[in-house]
Structure 1
């Protein structure tokens, strides 16, 4: 007999069994995403011959659009497609985008990127929302579930983040892959793992009961909504028609500026409209969610130097004294490596503390995330004290900084995914998850601007002088992170009041 939603949510133990299927689908999708992400800045500078400051703006624009489209994907999942169809559609677009890049990454760069941007927007927020639906409202094990799910995200990030860039640079399998085809293979690998992700979800969805079904389906949460087939076809067609527009907007960063100036205010106005239709109690929870979202913009603006300025820093200013590993590979995958081991332990720690009624509330966890982030960037600043006269410093010290930053990420990101599902109203969960990722879009956008300004500061400098310029910038970012963490902890009583019964 097939399981019902109630059967799923009444699981015994620490985790529902369905989380493992979602874990592996997300793992392979994140392999694709982080593999692509890790290659972007380096590829643009070395293969497309962009200047460093331009490449970082380009990187910020690309990542901003990726996360901005998660809001669109979440909205269409709520209103028309449902989470399952949105995920499949997004996965197919990511496969097409990666395959286009694999054929000729130099000529097809922005076309392939446009497909992967929209595809990620439909995939990413909706699988996270389905994880939240495995739990009953108020289940204290939700944070632990998202911490485990986050380990899956980072297992994919570890594999993709290291393998793709190492293959493209010729650090791995150089004897097997001709030099002219290394980047083709690196991008093609991202397409292969996305096929695996969709196959896995095809079998996983059989055990999800009614989770993720489209509005209007007799067994869905909104069975009376009148969704006609042409509504879904219009979404698919409209998505494809957006491809040329996204190509232009990503390749011309001034259009990205315009987009970011518009999308945020418009999104907030729409959210306020939706908030006007809910009860006062639900509205307070949505206000609390909005506070978390605003602070996450600051967090990601600092954290996401990893794909921009830290990518250049790794290539130019780090040695390979950590087991002979490629510095760019460590930069792309080091944080994920630490999370794989720490995330399950963090999830169990929250459960252990909860049983003893001493678990920090979500607001304090967020504040701690900022404090660790700040300490990590201070550690990046400290790499200057281990540099030689050529401006090359220790990869070991860099890895320690990534470890500290990882503690901060674990206090914020998986908890953020969890809190969005618990503070959202029933019919706005996809949109609120998308809004959470839209905040990441603004963080990525800000990160690109910060990285570009750092690159301008080092123009014409020696490698040692550029090391000093970058590390000074990282010290300033560390200060901003610590200040934000203290402010958030001070605001915790107000935010807790808005959250009401949600911890």
Structure 2
């Protein structure tokens, strides 16, 4: 029976390990900005720009550390040991966020970043390795799609846990749940070790490879020195100390990847150059996509109609998926200085001050009497829309590509990535439409606009993200596969930081449609670039992928 398996027996163990790891991670992301800006229930009470900057820096470092984790796994630790170490560090970090102390908060974020560096690139590489057997090789793309579904099951269910726990107990309980999820993932991975032991093969240094000690001395040490120095530059070059530090710290790492290309032999140079080109355009995708935790969370929180229909109000309340907002004109929060733009008789924009933000663009017929309250769906529940679409659309997409494959018309992996960028660009136009329909925030927008935006960008994501992982596994020279996987996550890291930078500009746009149009131009330009490179990329892909 095992001989007739379509996928390796290791797949369900890796699937479930990743599912629980992503449960914890996306639970944190779903409530991160809400926790940082909360002033009523024990959050940090930060302004929106500061929260967006911290959010962007955090998710940037989360995806920067895989460069180091992949390298150490390749040369020293191996994949399984790295994954277990990373999972334990992340679990401790998640639970540490439950301690309301600023020093513990930042130390916990650091543990999460370091742990993800060991976990994320190596479980993806291990998955690719178990598909290198001849009888499974042709199904690697499908394997990554199934693996990606595991990620999104965790991302789907975690927000309901977050809403229930923070409503019924508090923020700390939600963070502890994230840690428990991570430890479950580690336990499942350990149970399945025997099924991927054969794929956990370290790749020793070969002639021409830079020794690990030298990489630390010429890459990481300069990155740390330059990053720390940039933090203390008087003033800011890129808007904040954290942004300066991150961008300047990336320069030695980027130089290292360029040096890999320059020093590669003739056989390795073409696939490395193709991967670096894909990495470059993917940065723009992540810069827009990761605004789901910042700009789109703000849109969901204050611009979207979240009031619960009477028919389901009581069941939702009993599940603790509801937050209550009271109409008290003297309830001033950090957001009251800017929420929406209205115009006076002369057409000049003016601000609305001194009211609870959610009520500032509520239609008069929905406005509760002063002192009474209304029930709203928790904002983080909107973060489950994207993983819901991933789960429902992935089987359809897999079937669609299988049909094309039978007819010898399936697009190449680079072509799928190009179409993913174009489809993602279209998603931002949905939000432009939402802004116009709700008169730039003068009235609440229907939640269907946000659902539509997430639906379209999810299709783009499915064309791009799992295909990127698959492409790295297929094209990378064998001895640096995990290192190049770290390069993919480095590109993701830079994009994530850019997402935070873009989100800090939200309050600078009186017309929010222009904010989303900027995102459209970024994605549209990236799509144009990759379509121009497509013939060259496909030529390399056909030559090196058997």
Alignment TM class, shorter chain as reference = 0.7 to 0.9
Q: Does 1:435 align with 2:487?
A: yes
Q: Does 1:88 align with 2:84?
A: yes
Give the structure 1 partner of residue 292 of structure 2: 306
Give the structure 1 partner of residue 250 of structure 2: 264
Question: Over residues 359-397 of structure 1, what are the superposed CA-to-partner deviations in whole Å (9 max), with x where a residue is unaligned?
Answer: 011222111111211111111121124437753211122
Give the structure 2 partner of residue 481 of structure 1: 523
Give the structure 2 partner of residue 74 of structure 1: 70
Q: Is the 8 A contact 2:275 2:475 kept in 1?
A: yes
Stretch of structure 1 that moved more, 487-496 or 54-63 = 487-496
Task: Tell me the SS of whatever aligns to 2:380.
Answer: helix
Give the structure 2 partner of residue 414 of structure 1: 466
CA distance in 1 between counterparts of 2:291 and 2:128 reads 29
Deviation of residue 105 (structure 1)?
6.2
CA distance in 2 between counterparts of 1:390 and 1:166 reads 31
TM-score of the pair, normalised by structure 1: 0.83
Deviation of residue 346 (structure 1)?
2.0
TM-score of the pair, normalised by structure 2: 0.77
Give the structure 2 partner of residue 212 of structure 1: 200
Deviation of residue 298 (structure 1)?
0.8
Q: Does 1:123 align with 2:157?
A: no
1:102-501 correspondence runs (5 A):
102-104=98-100, 108-136=104-132, 139-165=137-163, 167-168=165-166, 170=167, 174=168, 177=169, 182-213=170-201, 215=202, 222=204, 254-275=240-261, 278-320=264-306, 326=377, 328-387=379-438, 390-457=442-509, 469-499=511-541, 500-501=543-544
CA distance in 2 between counterparts of 1:351 and 1:420 reads 21
CA distance in 2 between counterparts of 1:418 and 1:339 reads 17
Deviation of residue 29 (structure 1)?
0.3
Structure 2 CA distance for partners of 1:166 and 1:406, relative to 1, 3 Å: farther
Q: Is the 8 A contact 2:475 2:544 kept in 1?
A: no
Q: Is the 8 A contact 1:321 1:395 kept in 2?
A: no
Structure 2 CA distance for partners of 1:64 and 1:84, relative to 1, 3 Å: same
CA distance in 2 between counterparts of 1:474 and 1:108 reads 36
CA distance in 1 between counterparts of 2:184 and 2:394 reads 24
CA distance in 2 between counterparts of 1:211 and 1:348 reads 28
Give the structure 2 partner of residue 502 of structure 1: 545
Stretch of structure 1 that moved more, 113-122 or 350-359 = 350-359
Give the structure 2 partner of residue 39 of structure 1: 31
CA distance in 2 between counterparts of 1:57 and 1:329 reads 19
CA distance in 2 between counterparts of 1:48 and 1:449 reads 20
CA distance in 2 between counterparts of 1:320 and 1:17 reads 43
2:12 pairs, out of 10, 20, 23, with 20
CA distance in 2 between counterparts of 1:272 and 1:51 reads 38
Task: Tell me the SS of whatever aligns to 2:192.
Answer: helix
Task: Tell me the SS of whatever aligns to 1:108.
Answer: helix
CA distance in 2 between counterparts of 1:89 and 1:52 reads 34
Structure 2 CA distance for partners of 1:373 and 1:476, relative to 1, 3 Å: same
Q: Is the 8 A contact 1:103 1:184 kept in 2?
A: yes
Question: Over residues 217-247 of structure 1, what are the superposed CA-to-partner deviations in whole Å (9 max), with x where a residue is unaligned?
Answer: xxxx54999xxxxx9xx9xxx9xxx9xx99x
CA distance in 1 between counterparts of 2:434 and 2:23 reads 29
Give the structure 1 partner of residue 210 of structure 2: none
Count of aligned residue pairs for this structure pair: 453
Structure 2 CA distance for partners of 1:223 and 1:494, relative to 1, 3 Å: closer
Give the structure 1 partner of residue 345 of structure 2: none
Deviation of residue 486 (structure 1)?
2.9
Q: Does 1:97 align with 2:93?
A: yes
Q: Is the 8 A contact 1:154 1:340 kept in 2?
A: yes
Deviation of residue 344 (structure 1)?
3.0
CA distance in 2 between counterparts of 1:70 and 1:88 reads 14
Give the structure 2 partner of residue 464 of structure 1: none
Task: Tell me the SS of whatever aligns to 2:130.
Answer: coil
Task: Tell me the SS of whatever aligns to 1:363.
Answer: helix
Deviation of residue 294 (structure 1)?
0.3
CA distance in 2 between counterparts of 1:223 and 1:475 reads 47
Structure 2 CA distance for partners of 1:20 and 1:105, relative to 1, 3 Å: farther
Deviation of residue 259 (structure 1)?
3.6
Q: Is the 8 A contact 2:274 2:537 kept in 1?
A: yes
Deviation of residue 30 (structure 1)?
0.4
| Unaligned runs of at least 5 residues, structure 2 | 208-212, 313-320, 322-376
Question: Over residues 255-288 of structure 1, what are the superposed CA-to-partner deviations in whole Å (9 max), with x where a residue is unaligned?
Answer: 5334433343322332344445543122100100
Task: Tell me the SS of whatever aligns to 1:391.
Answer: coil
Q: Does 1:60 align with 2:56?
A: yes
Question: Over residues 157-214 of structure 1, what are the superposed CA-to-partner deviations in whole Å (9 max), with x where a residue is unaligned?
Answer: 111244325532x2xxx3xx3xxxx10101000011111001000011111132225x
